Structure 1
Amino acid sequence: MSMTDEYQPINCDDYDNLELACQHHWVLTLVLREGETLEAKASDLFSRKQVEYLLVEKDGETRELRLDHIVSFSHPKIGTIEISHS
């Protein structure tokens, strides 16, 4: 990821689904823009320097994922959500 990579906000409905996942600490299957797929527990959403992040936990470690770098996420209660940008 380059430092000049300008943040592209995601659709509000997609954000709301991530917020729901964080509230329930759901384990999501996430597909990232770089091709990586991971399963991790959704913990929190936060913003830093006008960039939004999802904080996830996996195997006792936390990781920050830029929302605009998530291609899709899924959980049995919400199905698969393909991220769209606002």
Structure 2
Amino acid sequence: MIQDYQPLSCDLYDYIEIACLHRYQLHIELVGGARLDARAMTTLTTPDKEEFLLVQNEGGQERLRLDQITAITPLTEGASFGRVLLGNQIC
């Protein structure tokens, strides 16, 4: 069962936006230990104020709720940041 959405802090959200702006290929670590590699496309916000990262991989597009992502690591050469641990502090 997924808990109520916990927004990211503004400074951590900035890394998500940079990844989308540059369409970085990311290694994404999720709550529960799952991992995937995918290209960051954009962010989405639902009417309930839940925020998602839309990613693209071989299987198509997938929405990842931001508070279910524990870390992102750019795989794109020359990325402007390295591995970022995401938390659930409110913006």
TM-score (norm 1): 0.91
Match of 2:41 in 1: 43
Q: Using the alignment, how far apart are the partners of 2:23 and 2:32 within structure 1?
A: 24
Q: Using the alignment, how far apart are the partners of 2:68 and 2:17 within structure 1?
A: 17
Q: Using the alignment, how far apart are the partners of 2:10 and 2:88 within structure 1?
A: 9
Give 4+ residue runs of structure 1 displaced > 4 Å after superposition.
Answer: none
Tell whether 2:25 aligns with 1:27. Answer: yes
Match of 2:4 in 1: 6
C-alpha RMSD over aligned residues: 1.2
Q: Using the alignment, how far apart are the partners of 1:14 and 1:27 within structure 2?
A: 17
TM-score (norm 2): 0.86
- Give the CA deviation at 1:60: 5.2
Match of 2:13 in 1: 15
Q: Using the alignment, how far apart are the partners of 1:40 and 1:51 within structure 2?
A: 21
Percent of paired sites with the same residue: 35
Q: Which runs of 5+ in 1 are unaligned?
A: none
Q: Using the alignment, how far apart are the partners of 1:13 and 1:43 within structure 2?
A: 19
The count of residues paired between Structure 1 and Structure 2 equals: 84
Equivalent position SS for 1:16: helix
- Give the CA deviation at 1:11: 1.3
Q: Using the alignment, how far apart are the partners of 2:59 and 2:11 within structure 1?
A: 29
Q: Using the alignment, how far apart are the partners of 1:36 and 1:14 within structure 2?
A: 20
More strand by share: 1
